[in-house]
Structure 1
Amino acid sequence: MATLLHIDTSFNGENSHSRAVTAAFRKAWEAEHPEGTVIYRDLAAEPVPHLEAAAYYAGGTDPAFALRAELIEEAERADVILLGAPMYNYTIPSTLKAWLDHVFLVGRTSITENPSLAGKRAVVVTSRGGSYREGTPQHGNDYVENYLRLALGDMFGLDVSFITPELTLAPYVPAMAGLVPLFESSRTESLAAAESLAKELAVQLAA
């Protein structure tokens, strides 16, 4: 049976745009895989601790390695990894960075000829308050997608897709009022993309 690892990181709860899109993906996924498994972690509600020296240097049987082993094994069990990664101050939430630090294990998940996560699909929802597209004033200041392409794609060997609802601050910032239609369009497109990609991956796994 197919397994989805779903990780949310936004601290905005029901008002979160990244959570809305990951939820749309998960709903479509579960419709295609009613007998499947979903492993869920809400890193805003239950953050993993920052990686410390004891866990970094611990061997596989050391109690200090237990959490790392659990997080790595969850990722290895998954057929698809779904990450909500809103932009906070131009980069990923620190809670997501802590999770990545635990999962990044030299010789197993990374920096090895055959990383244990290689070839799996990852879907990242990178919501952001403004726009960082080419031609905008903030172009080049997005340190979410570039970093995650490196960490997830180059280091873990995952096949990564991004869905990016943007201009999420437009409804709340008066100076951005003229951008509300673009925000609404981006949100609609992101929700549709999440549903479509979930169905597409379900077909691929069934093949």
Structure 2
Amino acid sequence: MNLFRLDASILPGNSASAQLADAAEAEWTAAHPQGTVTRRHLGTDPLPADAWALATTASFTPEADRSPEQREALALATALAEELRSADTAILAVPLYNYGVSQHFKTWADLVIAGSDNPTEPLLKSTPTVLATTLGGGYGPGTPREGWDHSTPYLERLLGDIWQAELTVVKRELTLAATNPAMESLRPLAEDHHTQALTAAREAGRALAGI
């Protein structure tokens, strides 16, 4: 069994999304002690910003005419796509930044698509997948920022609709309440969100493991 684990936090030492992913992974590892985990951390090991353009242009450039940079970028894109194809299960820890996904996650996603057989190849077809996503504020119905979460719908479209993963979303909001004085009144609610999200992550991990 092979688990693919992706992290996208720019704060690897204090990542709320990684905490949820760790909880899910621990359940999977306990059930599959001989399993392998393929890891990719976009925060500590970001992909080259120009790789997507190079890989994309390489795909419609005759092989003999490709530059060394295009060849390298296309090889990277192909390898990234293969990491998903080879996964039996997957966990992705992706926080919301500035109301959307971060540029380094978007670079990864675009490169994976560039390295696929076609733009809509279902790379995770029927693959049990956990998306652990965290948001600093509150974006639910009735909140001042309702509708400002442009990350979760994109991730669901990419992972579930395009790549056809068997997707479970574990979502924690209000992660900044503990440190932001302006959100002090929301701290009890934030702690409830935290507890519920950890419970959901553990349950998702057990489901991922087939327990």
| TM above 0.5 | yes
Residue 18 (structure 2) pairs with residue 9 (structure 1): no
Task: Please show how residues 9-88 of structure 1 align to structure 2 within 5 Å.
Answer: 9-50=8-49, 51-58=51-58, 62-88=71-97
Structure 1 partner of 2:109:
100
- The residue matched to 2:131 in structure 1 has which SS? strand
CA contact (8 A) 1:110 1:156 kept: no
- Superposed CA RMSD: 2.0
1: CA distance between counterparts of 2:85 and 2:77? 12
1: CA distance between counterparts of 2:73 and 2:96? 31
CA contact (8 A) 2:81 2:115 kept: no
TM-score, normalised to structure 2, is 0.87
Change (3 A) 1:158 1:173: same
Residue 138 (structure 2) pairs with residue 135 (structure 1): no
Residue 125 (structure 2) pairs with residue 118 (structure 1): yes
Structure 1 partner of 2:205:
198
Could you tell me which amino acid in structure 2 is paired with residue 195 of structure 1? R
1: CA distance between counterparts of 2:118 and 2:23? 28
TM-score, normalised to structure 1, is 0.89
Structure 2 partner of 1:145:
152
- The residue matched to 1:122 in structure 2 has which SS? strand
The aligned length equals: 201
- The answer for unaligned runs of 5 or more in structure 1 is none
Percent identity at matched positions?
Answer: 37
2: CA distance between counterparts of 1:69 and 1:42? 17
- Pick aligned residue for 2:193 from 171, 186, 191: 186
| 4+ residue segments displaced more than 2 Å | 50-54, 61-64, 105-112
CA positional deviation for 1:94 = 1.2
CA positional deviation for 1:175 = 1.8
CA positional deviation for 1:197 = 1.0
CA positional deviation for 1:21 = 0.8
CA contact (8 A) 2:120 2:162 kept: yes
CA contact (8 A) 2:78 2:114 kept: no
CA positional deviation for 1:108 = 2.5
1: CA distance between counterparts of 2:72 and 2:177? 47
1: CA distance between counterparts of 2:151 and 2:16? 16
